[in-house]
Amino acid sequence: MSNNNEILQTVRAKAQKWLNGAYDAETKSEVKKMLDNPDTTDLIDAFYKDLEFGTGGLRGIMGAGSNRMNIYTAGTATQGLSNYLNKEFSHLSEIKVVVGHDCRNNSRLFAETMANIFSANGITAYLFEDLRPTPEISFAIRKLGCQSGIIITASHNPKEYNGYKAYWDDGAQVIAPHDTNIIDEVNKIGSVDEIKFKGNSKKIKILGAEMDEMFLEQIKQISLNPEAIAKQSNLKIVFTPIHGTTVKIVPDALARIGFKNIIHVPEQDVVSGNFPTVVSPNPEEPAALKMGIAKAMETGAELVAAADPDGDRLGIAIRDDKDEFILVNGNQTATLLTWYMLNQWKAKGKLTGSEFAVKTIVTSELIKTIARNTGVECFDVYTGFKWIAMVIRELEGKRKYICGGEESYGFLPGDYVRDKDSVGAIAIIAEIAAWAKEQGKTLYGLLKEIYVENGFSCERLISIVRKGKAGADEIKAIMTDFRNNPPKQLGGSKVTVVKDYMSLKATNPQTGVDEVISQPATSDVLQFFTEDGSKISVRPSGTEPKIKFYFEVTVELKSIDLYEQAKAEGDRKIDKIVADLKLN
Q: Per residue, what are the HEC states of 248-288?
A: CHHHHHHHHCCCCCEEECHHHCCCCCCCCCCCCCCCCCHHH
User: In the beta sheet, which residues pair with residue 281?
Assistant: none
How far are the Cα atoms of 160, 308, 339, 344 from residue 154, in angstroms, in the given order? Answer: 9, 10, 30, 35
| pLDDT tens string 358-401 | 999 999 999 999 999 999 999 999 998 999 999 999 999 999 99
Round to whole Å and give the CA distance between 297 and 325: 8
| pLDDT tens string 15-32 | 999 999 999 999 999 999
Radius of gyration of the chain (CA): 24
pTM, to two decimals: 0.94
> Long-range contacts: 230-233, Cβ < 8 Å, 24+?
230/258, 231/434, 231/438, 232/433, 232/434, 232/437, 232/438, 233/258, 233/259, 233/260, 233/261, 233/434
| pLDDT tens string 236-277 | 999 999 999 999 999 999 999 999 999 999 999 999 999 999
| pLDDT tens string 473-523 | 999 999 999 999 999 999 999 999 999 999 999 999 988 889 999 999 999
CB proximity list for 551: less than 8 A, separation 6 or greater: 459, 460, 461, 462, 534, 535, 536, 574, 577, 578
Residue environment code for 321-331, b if the CB has 16+ CB neighbours within 10 A, otherwise e: eeeebbbbbbb
* Delimiting residues of CATH 3.30.310 domain(s) in the chain: 456-580
* SS3 state at 240: strand
Provide mean pLDDT across the span 287-303: 98
Contact 75, 114 (CB under 8 A): yes
Provide mean pLDDT across the span 308-334: 97
Q: What percent of the chain has pLDDT above 90?
A: 91
- Nearest one of 84, 144, 82 to 118, comparing CA atoms: 82
CATH class, range 74-207: alpha beta
User: Over 90: is that where the pLDDT of 467 sits?
Assistant: no
Alpha helices in 282-329 (DSSP H): 290-299
> What CATH fold (topology level) applies to the domain 456-580?
TATA-Binding Protein (3.30.310)
Report the mean per-residue pLDDT for the chain.
95
- Residue 19, CB-side half-sphere exposure with 13 Å CA sphere: 16
How far are the Cα atoms of 166, 181, 194 from residue 87, in angstroms, in the given order? Answer: 17, 11, 17
pLDDT of residue 3: 53
DSSP calls for 70-95: SHHHHHHHHHHHHHHHHHHTTTSS--
H or E stretch at 531: none
H or E stretch at 185: helix 178-188
- Tell me which of 3.30.450.30, 1.10.10.10, 3.40.50.720, 3.40.120.10 is the CATH number of domain 224-438: 3.40.120.10
Round to whole Å and give the CA distance between 52 and 166: 12
* DSSP 8-state code for residue 69: B
Round to whole Å and give the CA distance between 370 and 265: 35
Round to whole Å and give the CA distance between 399 and 392: 9
pLDDT of residue 28: 96
* DSSP 8-state code for residue 348: T
- Nearest one of 338, 402, 347 to 370, comparing CA atoms: 338
Contact 146, 130 (CB under 8 A): no
* Catalytic residue of the set 82, 138, 148, 155: 155
pLDDT of residue 347: 97
User: Over 70: is that where the pLDDT of 54 sits?
Assistant: no
Contact 578, 462 (CB under 8 A): yes
Q: Judge whether 155 counts as a catalytic residue.
A: yes
pLDDT of residue 423: 98
Confidence of residue 1 (pLDDT cuts 50, 70, 90): very low
Confidence of residue 180 (pLDDT cuts 50, 70, 90): confident
Please state at what angle helix 107-120 crosses helix 71-88, rounded to 10 degrees: 30
* Delimiting residues of CATH 3.40.120.10 domain(s) in the chain: 74-207, 224-438
Round to whole Å and give the CA distance between 501 and 57: 20
- Residue 149, CB-side half-sphere exposure with 13 Å CA sphere: 30
| Top-confidence residue, 305 or 3 | 305
Output phi, psi for 371, to 5 deg. Answer: -60, -45
Contact 329, 317 (CB under 8 A): no
* DSSP 8-state code for residue 404: E
| pLDDT tens string 564-576 | 999 999 999 999 9
User: In the beta sheet, which residues pair with residue 239?
Assistant: 264, 305
pLDDT of residue 2: 42
> Rounded to an integer, what is the distance from CA 28 to the centroid of its chain?
34
User: In the beta sheet, which residues pair with residue 489?
Assistant: 494
- Tell me whether strands 303-307 and 262-264 are parallel, antiparallel or unpaired: unpaired
